[in-house]
Chain A
Amino acid sequence: MSTFDNPFDPDRNLRAGCVCGQHQSAAEHEQASALRCDPVESEEKRYEGVVASAVMRAMFPQDVARRAFLKSVGASTALAALSQFFPIKTATEVFADTGTPEKKDLKVGFIPITCATPIIMAAPLGFYSKHGLNVDVVKTAGWAVIRDKTINKEYDAAHMLAPMPIAISLGLGANAIPFTVPAIENINGQGITLAMKHKDKRDPKDWKGMKFAIPFDYSMHNYLLRYYLAENGIDPDTDVQLRSVPPPEMVANLRADNIDGFLAPDNICQRAIYDGVGFMHLLSKEIWDGHPCCSFAASKEFITTAPNSFAALTRAIVDATAYASKAENRKQIAEAIAPANYINAPVTVLEQVLTGTYADGLGGVKTDAKRVDFDPFPWQSFAVWMLTQMKRWGQIKGDVDYKAVAEQVYLATDTKKLMTEMGLSPPESAYKSFAVMGKTFDPTKPDDYVASFKIRKAS
């Protein structure tokens, strides 16, 4: 159940306990099922819903009484009656009015891949302006450049790979500068693409000696590919070669027969298929369903110097993410982000990625609506998992305070507050357990998790 739901629905539960009755609280139920953020038609409607919920709750402290009332008079009458003695419209306006941004003209950097969808589409579809901001989204040439430009303050915030803000905060590959993730850009949305000549070599156990490309060392791409290979008995450090290659060069290298495959962000996988040089071996979702991919990142300094701008920006991103999570909007989004000013790719390719109905490169058409999905909540357990992999592959040495780092970088508390204000229903806790290739990850025991892997870099 989501806070977007209609408060005048008699079956809706406004207090503790969940709808299905199997969980102690609505939040727990929420965690058990996936987090949903289905936006209502308009912002105002949604805020109105939140305000009306509060009023209904105050008027009918007993759920039973409220249900009886709604059942007997009907939702529209109830709303009319309520409006008579409580100015819902005014209350909504007051509620939606947030602090004025300290800085209205902002620059947000992005890498042209479908992972950046919410950041990009928020410009043409007006999500930034709706939150009172004038944002320039600037296409950037690579992950290292986006890191440097954000550190240099040329960008106020940026699209980054989910592990990058952690790496920057820890000073891996750069000076240690506190960075934060107020929202996850996308979940799923990557894939393993292989060269056409490996059409019959679908078992990773036969992949010894192959060359694979990944976009960046501190990326989910790197960790997921390594994980997948290792689970299949291939040591990613000794049995195969992993190279950091910018995504467009991956397609060219695959065509030139210089690499055997890659784990890349989407539209690149689909582009290789579209051009007839590769096929989809596996969606990253099949490794870990619901894994984070890219993040929306800002430096701690930006948050402290311009808290209202930051809040408005995060709100715009969360709003756009909620919009992008709806399947029926995906076609429109694909069209909005395809022009040269944004991703600069054929619309068909983006549509296949976003709608999940795609050519697999082997002559078949597959459908998976969740091929890429959008869910902004920055689960701190995601950060803990990334830290375990950084440790596993020797990117960080020595002891790590997993929880402290995760909580410093992944701003679950702030985002939760913001989402609640916006009428969304964030989960109660910032930690959840999940399974990667069938192996359950317990965020409270990260060290045991690292130790449980047979294949890992000796540290």
Chain B
Amino acid sequence: MTSSLRLRAGLVSIALLAAFLGVWHLATRSAGPTAAMSPEYAKLMGLTATQGKSAMPGPLDVGAKLWEHLKRPFYDNGPNDKGLGIQLAYSIARVGTGYLLAVLVAIPLGFLIGMSPLLSKALDPFIQVLKPISPLAWMPLALYTIKDSSISAIFVIFICSIWPMLLNTVFGVASVRKEWINVARTLEVGTFRRAFTVILPAAAPTILTGMRISIGIAWLVIVAAEMLVGGTGIGYFVWNEWNNLSITNVIIAILLIGVVGMLLDQILARFTRMVTFPE
């Protein structure tokens, strides 16, 4: 039963994709030569102007270009032209660093706040104000104070991915069942032991949910940050191709950003399943 459902779902997915690609292909077909122009003039103009080619590339253009990129993902033609594999590696490394720093700060701090109702109430307004700030708003400030663009990018990842983790940790720790804590108290378990053996396992699913939201945000942020700062990374690649007005390459980058984001999310989802317990 489930396998037939999966099969049918797969078929519907493929049909939807085929329909989407078909419409896309038809919508972006070139309309044939446009207004008459002298050959000398036509030589100086692009295909959009001479062939009536749509400014939007078709699926075949994107496919061909994607294949070209996938064939050589790790080439290095100097500081401003590297393969997509290298660009993605730079971005993932930045996200990893900023995210790990955020984990190191958010989880202990969240624990502390969650265990103390006073701190929780006192810090809440600050967290609520800092949480909705866009990564791009932090960027000029970071560049100006840190004075290093790659550390600034990592800082922006850190500052944007810390809040969901922090809030979820606080929430998870604060909502551990009172009975469990009381049982631990009666058994005269020390504070540290209580934190690690009772609260942490109980709060773990909530904490990991926070981490999962955060990795998504971190991946969103890196593209924006790299577009602004430039240099390396998939965000820089998007900017560089935008600068060249190459929509084909921009679409390819968007596709890859989506795939990598999904993989990162799946990794965290697997961790979440590992720590979830039936009540």
Chain A interface residues toward B at CB < 8 A? 112, 123, 136-142, 144-145, 148-149, 152-154, 247-248, 251-252, 255, 271, 273-276, 339-342, 344-346, 348, 352, 358-359, 363-365
Residue pair A148, B144 in contact (C-beta under 8 Å)? yes
CB distance from B140 to the nearest CB of A (A): 8
- A342: B residues at CB distance < 8 A: 80
A141, A154, A344: the one contacting B244 at CB < 8 Å is A344
Whether A139 contacts B80 in the complex (CB less than 8 A), given A152-B143, A152-B148, comes out as yes
Q: Which residues of A contact B55 (CB under 8 A)?
A: 255, 275
Interface residues of B in 59-102 (CB under 8 A from A): 77-81
Q: A138-B80, A340-B77 are in contact. List 4 more A-B contacts (CB 8 A).
A: A144-B140, A275-B245, A339-B81, A352-B44
A282 to B23, CA, bound (A): 41
13 A-B pairs in the complex with CB atoms less than 8 angstroms apart = A112-B240, A136-B78, A138-B80, A141-B227, A144-B140, A148-B144, A152-B143, A152-B147, A339-B81, A340-B240, A348-B46, A363-B37, A364-B41
Whether A141 and B148, one on each chain, are in contact in the complex, defined by CB atoms closer than 8 angstroms, is no
> Is the Cβ of A341 less than 8 Å from the Cβ of B81?
yes
Q: Is B229 an interface residue (CB 8 A)?
A: yes
- Contact status B49-A140, CB under 8 Å: no
Which of A138, A149, A344 makes the CB contact (< 8 A) with B79?
Answer: A138
- Expressed in whole angstroms, the minimum distance between the Cβ of A82 and any Cβ of chain B is 45
Q: In the complex, A136 Cα to B76 Cα: how many Å?
A: 14
Closest B residue, CB atoms, query A272: B245
The reply to whether the CB of B38 lies closer than 8 angstroms to some CB of chain A is yes
For B43, give the chain A residue with the smallest CB separation. A348
Q: Name the contact of A276 in the complex, choosing from B43, B45, B140, B236 (C-beta under 8 A).
A: B45
A352 to B45, CA, bound (A): 10
Given A152-B149, A340-B80, A341-B80, do A358 and B44 touch, yes or no (CB 8 Å)?
A: yes
| Least CB distance, A288 to chain B, in whole angstroms | 26
Please, which residue of chain A has its CB at the minimum distance from the CB of B37? A363
Could you tell me if A363 and B143 are in contact, using CB atoms closer than 8 angstroms?
A: no
Q: Which residues of B contact A138 (CB under 8 A)?
A: 79-80, 230-231
Find out whether the CB atom of B46 lies under 8 angstroms from the CB atom of A275: yes
Distance between Cα atoms of A276 and B42 in the complex (Å): 11
- Quick one: which of A139, A255, A352, A365 contacts B230, CB cutoff 8 A? A139
The residues of B that contact A252 with a CB separation of less than 8 Å are: 245
Pairwise interchain contact A275-B243, C-beta atoms closer than 8 A: no
Q: Does any Cβ of A come within 8 Å of B271's Cβ? A: no
Contact between B245 and A365, CB atoms less than 8 A apart = no
Find residues 230-246 in chain B having any chain A CB closer than 8 Å to their own CB. 230-231, 236, 239-245
A111 to chain B, nearest CB (A): 9
Q: Cβ of B48 < 8 Å from any Cβ of A?
A: yes
A to B contact number (C-beta, < 8 Å): 103
Q: How far is the CB of B69 from chain A (nearest CB, A)?
A: 12
Task: Decide if A359 touches B41 in the complex (CB within 8 Å).
Answer: yes
Which residues from A are CB-within-8-Å of B147? Answer: 152-153
- Cross-chain contact of B243 among A154, A344, A352 (Cβ < 8 A): A344
B54 to chain A, nearest CB (A): 11
Q: Confirm or deny: B268 has a beta carbon within 8 angstroms of a beta carbon on chain A.
A: no
Top 10 A-B pairs ranked by shortest CB distance? A276-B49, A341-B81, A141-B230, A359-B44, A340-B81, A274-B46, A152-B147, A139-B80, A344-B244, A341-B78
Measured in the bound complex, the distance between the Cα atoms of B34 and A363 in whole Å is: 12
When A154-B149, A339-B77, A341-B78 are in contact, do A141 and B239 touch as well, CB less than 8 Å? yes
With the chains together, A142 CA to B143 CA distance in Å? 14
Q: Which B residues are in CB contact (< 8 Å) with A139?
A: 79-80, 230, 240
The reply on B228 being an interface residue by CB < 8 A is yes
From A152, which residue of chain B is reached at the shortest CB distance? B147
Most buried by B among A137, A140, A340, A352: A340
Tell me whether A248 and B227 are in contact (CB under 8 A): no
Question: B242 — which chain A residues lie within 8 A by C-beta?
Answer: 248
Contact, CB under 8 Å: B49 / A274: yes
Q: Report the bound CA distance from A359 to B41 in whole Å.
A: 6
| Contact present for A344 and B48 (CB under 8 Å) | no
Which residues in A have their C-beta under 8 angstroms from that of B48? 275-276
| A196 shortest CB reach to chain B, Å | 10
A136 & B79 in contact (Cβ 8 Å cutoff) = yes
Q: State A154–B79 Cα separation when bound (angstroms).
A: 14
B45 and A274 within 8 A (CB): yes
> Are B80 and A141 touching (Cβ within 8 A)?
no
Residues B80 and A273 in contact, CB atoms below 8 Å apart = no
Q: Taking CB as reference atom, which chain B residue is nearest A113?
A: B243
Question: Would you call A344 and B45 a contact (CB within 8 A)?
Answer: no
Contact of A341 among B37, B38, B46, B77 (CB under 8 A): B77
Task: For A123, give the chain B residue with the smallest CB separation.
Answer: B78
B40 within 8 A of A: yes
Distance between Cα atoms of A247 and B239 in the complex (Å)? 12
Q: Smallest CB–CB gap between A116 and chain B, Å?
A: 12
Instruction: Report the nearest A residue to B247, measured CB to CB.
Output: A252
Q: How far is the CA of A139 from the CA of B231 in the complex (A)?
A: 7
**B152: min CB distance to chain A, Å:** 9
With a CB–CB cut-off of 8 A, which chain B residues contact A148?
140, 143-144
How far does the alpha carbon of A330 sit from the alpha carbon of B87 in the complex, in Å? 32
Give chain B residues whose Cβ lies under 8 Å from the Cβ of A358: 44
CA distance A341 to B232 in the complex (A): 12
A145 to B46 CA separation, bound complex (whole angstroms): 31
A363 x B46 contact (CB < 8 A): no
A365–B44 touching, CB < 8 Å: yes
Q: Which residues of B contact A141 (CB under 8 A)?
A: 227-230, 236, 239
Closest Cβ of chain A to B240, distance in Å, is 6
Chain A proximity mask over B7-50: 1 for CB below 8 Å, otherwise 0:
00000000000000000000000000010011011011110110
Contact mask for chain B residues 240-274; partner A; CB cutoff 8 A; 1 contact, 0 none: 11111100000000000000000000000000000
